[in-house]
Every structure is written in structure tokens, then in C-alpha cells.
Amino acid sequence: MKLIERFEQGKCVVTCEVGPPKGIEIEKVIEELVPLQSRVDAFNVTDLQSSVLRVGSMATCRLLKEKSLEPIMQLTCRDRNRLGLQSDVLSAAVLGIENLLCLTGDHTTLGDHPQAMPVFDLDSVQLLSAVTALMNGKDMAGNDLEGRPPQFCLGAVVNPGADPIEPQIVKMEKKIAAGAQFIQTQAVYEVDKFAAFMKKVKHLNVPIMAGIVFLKSPGMAKFMNANVAGIHVPDEIIDELTASGKEKRVEKSLEISARLIKELKDLCQGIHIMSLGWERHIAAVLEMAGL
Amino acid sequence: MLFTKTKPIEEVLESLGNEKKIFLLACDGCAEACGTGGKDGLAQMKDEMEKAGKSVAGTCLVDFLCNKVLVTTRLSREMEQIQQADSIVVLTCGIGVQAVSKVVSKVVHPADDTVSLGGMQGLWPSDERCNACGQCVLDYTGGICPITMCAKSLLNGPCGGAKDGKCEVDPEKDCGWQLIYERLEKLGRLENLKKAYSPRDHSKMLPSEDVRKTSFYDLEK
């Protein structure tokens, strides 16, 4: 199922992120997602998020598919050159994966193998162009593919909290011109700012999904504010979370996420949930948000 | 100018193995300026060698070890001592080590590591950097190089990782694409941001035959 079909149905599309494990015991990760099948349209599988070694996105996507969970394979430019990337795109098609999310990727120095060579042979725009070329039956070098070409729904990402925002928007335009059919954003905690961003990109006419990251603790919020580009958790939310106390923290955190989703969903075309280990709470949050 | 750092002495000693008689050679050029060569470097290395129980067969200081004519001339006076030594420890950059290896038929041990300065500099070593990519796009980027100034060398930058105009790799490092954006804005050329750059041709990093034939590539050609 290509995600674009869900957008065309006019519903608020819901996706959530899956982080493969740092080891081969992946069964539990997949099992925890099965109950979400009827509530979540598709599952993003990250590609060595934060440059930390884990099981790859492609294998995980295939396992999801085998459990009737729709995967979105994330593909970053950090680890593979254009040959490796194009090959993985073809391999993904062979395994029945229909949705790709193309991004630049975190730098190697951020992860647990900081001495590794950062590849970045392509950037996200060039990667989208490459996949579009493959979908038209040619590889990047102009060679014809044998047989029918792969078909995907292509996604890209944007950071609506970036300052300055203009270069992000220009790049978003480039990504769409290169073939991106939907956009997922970095986590949003300020509805007004997001509304302003959405106004600026209205002309691009592409479905946009607001990112939601569950705030597990006030400490996590403060950490993200200090360290993660484009994320800003306002003081009011941090105070609200702190005031609830440790015992009610999970409940309050889910309540905050649900409230954000409720306010954001009418501003855009979908919600992308990054639960960071709290996958078991996703159903409850969606319930509270009326999705 | 090449930038060097002294290798940990354990690394040099491990490389020497059972070699006993060592000839010490140091560069008085870049390495002297970096504090890894020169007269002082030579003296320090002599101490370290003797401390480790090695015998120093001789020492020699040459203005520029990258200049093979100079090296040949200066070492001709030391040839007897060099031949008697088991090997040579050289305090110089990677160019110097390779040059000396061509001039003497002796095992050569580098005492220094040549450290990346992020690309080539001009004759005036300021903070401009060039990686000689062979596909210059500086006209589109306001004169700021995306290959050397962006940690990911992105052509279609920026990425989403910059925070407060600083790179995700190091909060003290400017985001290259932030600099490009600010410069383009100043020049009234923000439309350049819309350029969709094609992927880089990395095969250009291998010097072609015609380039290798020039005296720019090899003075001795």
C-alpha cells in the first residue's frame, strides 16, 4: 500500500517510528506493533538513527510486511555511496516495500562509531532524484533497468523549527521537485509556530505530517532543547510535566501528546509519532486524541 | 604548510622492534614550526631513543625534507653513519617521509603524524580551504565552499541538524550552509539556494594522466 493512497482518501494519516534493536532479537519489537495495525497507517523504520549501529531498515521492513504492517523504509546518505543506495532501493522493491523516506542522515560523529567514514556521496535531494530515475526505468548513470521499474511512494523530512526557516523551505521545494510526495516533520511542541510554518508552505501542495515525540521526562525535554536541532519544548509544557510528579508522569506525558495531536491534526494532513520505546502507549494516545 | 603532531613514543618504539642503531633525521621547515621537528625535536628524540636503550647512529637537520635534491646533498655527508644504522627515524610530514624513502635505501620510521587541516590552503595559510574537487561551485555559494565548510560536504544543503547556526558535529563549528545563506542574502542572490546540484563526480579526485605529466604534479617530470 502506497501511503499517498491514504492521503488521497482525505483522512488524517497516522504513522509511527520503529527503531530496530541493537542485536538480532527483533521478534519482540515487531510483536509490540501488531496491535497497532488497525490504528496506524504505516510504520517508519529508521536507518541507524543517530548513527548508532543497529539492525538495518530493510530487513525490519520486510518483517513488518510479513505481519501485515505497512512499512516505510528510511534511507540515509550517511553510510552508502550511490551504488549501495540504488541497490538497496531495488532490493527494497524486490522485498515488496512500497514506501521510502529519503534523508541526509546524522553525521557519523554523533553515534557510537565516531571513527567511521561519513559517506554522503549523495544528499537527500539527489537521493530522491535517483529513486525517481529508477522509477522511470533508469539508474543514475542513465542505464536502462531490465524489466518493469520499481514503484514507490516517496517521502522526505523538514525541520519546521529551523531558524532561519527559509533555506529549509527552499530545500523542501527541491525535494518535492525531485519526487517527494509527502513530508514528515521534526517534533512540534508549539502549535502557533507550526501554523505559521504551514502557511508558508501552503503553496507546495503536498501532504505534511506533524511530528510528535513523547516527552518521557522533564529532563528529556530539557536535553532536547539543548541538543536537538529544531526542537523547542516550551517552559509551560516542561512545568506541566514536572508538576505532575513522578507517579503520574506517564499519564501526564501521554495527555500532553494527545493534546498536541488534537491541535495539530487540523493544521496538516497527518501525524507522525516517535514513541522512543513507549510503543505500548501509542494506542492510548491516539484514543485520547480522537484518532 | 603541512601540520604535524608527534606520534606517541610507544608507537614509534613498537615500529622499531628489535632495531638497535637508529639514525635521526628532522625537518627544519613545517615540522619545526609545528614543534614536531627542528633542532629541539631532534634533541628530544635522541633522549627518547637512548632512554629506550637504542643507540643513535647520527643526527641530521635538513631545511626541507620534501626537497629531494637538498636531502641528497645533505645526507651525502652522513651516508656512512646512515648505512651503519638499522633504520632512520624521521621527524617530518608524510611528504618528507616519502621523499627520504626515495633517496635512501633504508627502512624509514615516521616520528610524526600529518594531521588534517581540512583541505589545502593558499600560500597565505588563512582559514580558506579547498579540497580540489574539480567542480567548483563557488559562484553559486557566495564564495563559501560547501565541500570544505559543510561537515557532510552537502551540495544541496543545509541538513536539518544545525542548531543556532552551528553544525551538529561541533557546537563551536559554524554551519557551512548557514554561512552560505547569510552571504547570499547579503549579495542579493538568495535565488541561488534553489539550484538543484547534481551529485559530485568523485572520479575527479584521481589525477588523470595528463595532470600527472605536468610539473605541477611532479617537479621532476
B12 and B102 fall within a common domain: yes
Q: Which of B116, B148, B152 to mutate to test the interface with A (most CBs of A within 10 A)?
A: B152
Task: Quote the domain boundaries for residue B67.
Answer: 3-115
Minimal-distance CA residue of chain A relative to B200:
A121
Asked whether the beta carbons of residue B163 and residue A157 sit closer than 8 angstroms, the reply is no
Q: What pLDDT, in 10s, does the model give residues B4-41?
A: 999 999 999 999 999 999 999 999 999 999 999 999 99
Residues A249-269: what's their mean pLDDT? Answer: 96
Q: Answer whether residue B122 shows pLDDT above 90.
A: no
Domain membership of residue B211 (yes or no) is no
Residues in a beta bridge with B104: none
Q: Answer whether residue B1 shows pLDDT above 90.
A: no
Asked whether the beta carbons of residue A229 and residue B151 sit closer than 8 angstroms, the reply is no
- The nearest CA of chain A is from the CA of B25 a distance in Å of 32
Asked whether the beta carbons of residue A174 and residue B160 sit closer than 8 angstroms, the reply is no
Asked whether the beta carbons of residue A228 and residue B153 sit closer than 8 angstroms, the reply is no
- The partner residue sitting opposite B152, judged by closest CB among A104, A140, A168, is A104
Minimal-distance CA residue of chain A relative to B182:
A164
Q: What percent of chain A is modeled with pLDDT above 70?
A: 100
Between CA B201 and CA B207, with CA B203 as vertex, the angle to 5 degrees is 125
Interface check for B200 against chain A (CB to CB < 8 A): the answer is: yes
- pLDDT score at A51: 97
Spatial separation of the C-alpha atoms in residues A211 and A261, rounded to whole Å: 9
Minimal-distance CA residue of chain B relative to A186:
B160
Q: How many CB pairs under 8 A join A and B?
A: 86
Residues 96-115 of A with CB under 8 A from B: 103-104, 106-107, 109-110
B147 and B108 fall within a common domain: no
B66 and B144 fall within a common domain: no
B111 and B12 fall within a common domain: yes
B32 and B134 fall within a common domain: no
- pLDDT score at B179: 97
Between CA A286 and CA A199, with CA A99 as vertex, the angle to 5 degrees is 60
- pLDDT score at B190: 96
Asked whether the beta carbons of residue A104 and residue B155 sit closer than 8 angstroms, the reply is no
Measured between beta carbons, which residues in chain A are less than 8 angstroms from residue B173?
none
In terms of C-beta density within 10 A (0-12 exposed, 13-18 middle, 19 or more buried), how is residue B190 classed? middle
Residue B167 CA from chain centroid, whole number: 24
Domain membership of residue B146 (yes or no) is yes
Q: Checking phi first, is residue A35 left (phi over 0); if not, alpha (psi -120 to 50) or beta?
A: alpha
Domain membership of residue B69 (yes or no) is yes
In terms of C-beta density within 10 A (0-12 exposed, 13-18 middle, 19 or more buried), how is residue B200 classed? buried
Interface check for B163 against chain A (CB to CB < 8 A): the answer is: yes
Domain membership of residue B127 (yes or no) is yes
- The partner residue sitting opposite B181, judged by closest CB among A123, A129, A167, is A167
Measured between beta carbons, which residues in chain A are less than 8 angstroms from residue B174?
none
Residues A11-30: what's their mean pLDDT? Answer: 96
Spatial separation of the C-alpha atoms in residues B6 and B40, rounded to whole Å: 12
- pLDDT score at A232: 94
Domain membership of residue B207 (yes or no) is no
B126 and B108 fall within a common domain: no
- pLDDT score at A96: 98
Arithmetic mean of pLDDT over chain B:
94
Q: What percent of chain B is modeled with pLDDT above 70?
A: 100
Asked whether the beta carbons of residue A170 and residue B193 sit closer than 8 angstroms, the reply is yes
Asked whether the beta carbons of residue A177 and residue B196 sit closer than 8 angstroms, the reply is yes
First-to-last CA distance in chain B?
23
Q: What pLDDT, in 10s, does the model give residues B36-75?
A: 999 999 999 999 999 999 999 999 999 999 999 999 999 9
Domain membership of residue B201 (yes or no) is no
- The nearest CA of chain B is from the CA of A184 a distance in Å of 12
- The nearest CA of chain B is from the CA of A239 a distance in Å of 24
- The partner residue sitting opposite A186, judged by closest CB among B160, B168, B197, is B160
Minimal-distance CA residue of chain B relative to A226:
B163
- The nearest CA of chain A is from the CA of B172 a distance in Å of 13
Domain membership of residue B184 (yes or no) is yes
- pLDDT score at A215: 95
Q: Answer whether residue B80 shows pLDDT above 90.
A: yes
B40 and B139 fall within a common domain: no
- The nearest CA of chain A is from the CA of B33 a distance in Å of 28
- The nearest CA of chain A is from the CA of B139 a distance in Å of 18
Residue A238 CA from chain centroid, whole number: 24
B54 and B147 fall within a common domain: no
Final residue of a domain: which of B115, B131, B165? B115
Minimal-distance CA residue of chain A relative to B196:
A174
Q: What pLDDT, in 10s, does the model give residues B186-209?
A: 999 999 999 999 999 999 999 999
Measured between beta carbons, which residues in chain A are less than 8 angstroms from residue B196?
125, 129, 174, 177-178
Specify the higher pLDDT residue, A111 or B220: A111
In terms of C-beta density within 10 A (0-12 exposed, 13-18 middle, 19 or more buried), how is residue B17 classed? exposed
Domain membership of residue B218 (yes or no) is no
Residues B159-167: what's their mean pLDDT? Answer: 94
Measured between beta carbons, which residues in chain B are less than 8 angstroms from residue A126?
155-156, 197-199
Q: Answer whether residue A258 shows pLDDT above 90.
A: yes
- The nearest CA of chain A is from the CA of B20 a distance in Å of 35
Q: Residue holding cell 539527489? A: A126
Quote the number of domains for chain B: 2
Q: Answer whether residue B125 shows pLDDT above 90.
A: no
| CATH number for position B15 | 3.40.50.2300
- The partner residue sitting opposite A159, judged by closest CB among B153, B160, B169, is B160
B149 and B177 fall within a common domain: yes
Spatial separation of the C-alpha atoms in residues B128 and B145, rounded to whole Å: 9
- pLDDT score at B221: 79
- pLDDT score at A70: 98
- The partner residue sitting opposite B159, judged by closest CB among A104, A126, A174, is A104
Domains of chain A: 12-289 (3.20.20.220)
B92 and B15 fall within a common domain: yes
Residues A160-188: what's their mean pLDDT? Answer: 96
Arithmetic mean of pLDDT over chain A:
96
Final residue of a domain: which of B96, B115, B134? B115
Asked whether the beta carbons of residue A229 and residue B160 sit closer than 8 angstroms, the reply is yes
pLDDT band at B220 (very low <50, low <70, confident <90, very high): confident
- pLDDT score at A177: 98
Final residue of a domain: which of B93, B115, B137? B115
Spatial separation of the C-alpha atoms in residues B134 and B155, rounded to whole Å: 14
Q: What pLDDT, in 10s, does the model give residues A26-84?
A: 999 999 999 999 999 999 999 999 999 999 999 999 999 999 999 999 999 999 999 99
DSSP string across A231-242: ----HHHHHHHH
B99 and B162 fall within a common domain: no
B49 and B130 fall within a common domain: no
